[in-house]
Amino acid sequence: MSVDTAPAPLSSLSEEEELFRQTVRDFAESEVKPYVEEMDEASKMRPELIEKCFELGLMGIEVPEQYGGAGGSIFLATLAIEELARVDASTAIYVDVHNTLVNNAILKWGTPEQHARWFPRMTVDLLGAFALSEPASGSDAFALETRAVQDGDDWLLTGRKFWITSGAEAGIFIIFANVDPSKGYKGITAFVVEKDFPGFSIGKREKKLGIRASSTVELILEDCRVPSANVLGPVGMGYKISIETLNEGRIGIGAQMIGVAQGALDAAVKYVQERKQFGKAIAEFQGVQFQLADMAVQLEAARLLVYNAARMKDAGIPFVREAAMAKLFASEAANMITGLAVELFGGYGYSREYPVEKFYRDAKIGVIYEGTSNMQRQTIAKILLKS
């Protein structure tokens, strides 16, 4: 009996989309899955897996073909992130951040010259990271203290960035700094900083509960010299760049969370058919069946919200509310589903012998990063009140 609980209505996907999904799934199963436990224990991603993501074209999904990208859609990126997270959320977040945050911001706000300078490398082997958060500015992202002072044709950046995903492996960073604190958030500006720029260094690496193979680091800027040609978008428009970029990023996190939830549900469905108590498989108990049904309903609802937000973005329809809804619901559903999966495994669910405890740990970050659940609720409510 098949235990694959992946969504059946593939009619909602085009032939190209379904082929792409299957390609990523095959890669995740054959090349990522054998190393998931090892990477989690070591808190380190295998470099060759990132290289293979580039080789498969997963690091330039929305980048135009003229720069080496696939010229695809956010929906395709969503499928890739979901399928990778179904096996390993850490691998998925490298693909997510690079596509939905870094590539997306440069694609929308970069000049043609910047596109031609960075994208041919960013689709081949140059990994990107997005650096907004600081110790004093988490949900209040515009309270950032990193400063930028103009020095001739350059800018000097000074400050520290915290909780930067993919920071240990990235070679290029979108960093937000304030060029004029007297203007408040209207002084915030986006800069593209390369790893070898003078005054730039990587600080401590965080020890995390989940997505352990994904690096989360501190960035240190000490009069980091950045050419004016590396300013992304107009000076003083960094607040708008960050907000609009994170809106797409939330779709990516939603995709990561439905992937994590799917992986946990797949494992639970398989286990309850094998585990016997009182002379029969626990899958035959109605109480277990009801829990599985609740998990499946939550997952499918989350998937539809995520897919809908992605389709709206691709169609050019305003999607901010829908992205917030997708991220909110998918992350909270993933926490519920992975928690129930742990319970269905009983004592084994609490051990590392089976994969559900990792899915459970990986799910927790979904309600925190790229906007906490309460920040998503605030966004949804504000839009409702304006309508």
Indicate if 147 and 133 belong to the same structural domain. Answer: yes
Catalytic residue among 83, 134, 357, 370: 370
Number of domains forming the structure of the chain: 3
* Integer-rounded Cα radius of gyration of the chain: 21
Structural domain boundaries, residue 179: 128-237
Instruction: Give the CATH number of the domain where residue 96 resides.
Output: 1.10.540.10
Indicate if 328 and 346 belong to the same structural domain. Answer: yes
> Average of pLDDT values for 367-373?
96
Whether 50 maps to a domain, the answer reads yes
> Average of pLDDT values for 171-189?
97
Indicate if 274 and 378 belong to the same structural domain. Answer: yes
Indicate if 378 and 245 belong to the same structural domain. Answer: yes
Q: What is the pLDDT of residues 203-248, one digit of tens each?
A: 999 999 999 999 999 999 999 999 999 999 999 999 999 999 999 9
Indicate if 244 and 371 belong to the same structural domain. Answer: yes
Whether 2 maps to a domain, the answer reads no
Find all residues with CB under 8 Å of 302, minimum gap 6, and list them. Answer: 254, 257, 258, 261, 326, 329, 330, 333, 334
Indicate if 321 and 369 belong to the same structural domain. Answer: yes
Say whether 370 is catalytic.
Answer: yes
- What residue has token string 């979904």? 366
Instruction: Give the CATH number of the domain where residue 296 resides.
Output: 1.20.140.10
Domain boundary among 237, 255, 283: 237
- 320-337 as b/e: b if 16+ CB within 10 A: bbbbbbbbbbbbbbbbbb
Q: What is the pLDDT of residues 311-362, one digit of tens each?
A: 999 999 999 999 999 999 999 999 999 999 999 999 999 999 999 999 999 9
HSE of 72 in the Cβ direction (CA atoms, 13 Å)?
A: 22
Find all residues with CB under 8 Å of 282, minimum gap 6, and list them. Answer: 272, 275, 276, 288, 344
Cα separation, 204 vs 76, in Å, equals: 34
Whether 204 maps to a domain, the answer reads yes
Indicate if 20 and 109 belong to the same structural domain. Answer: yes
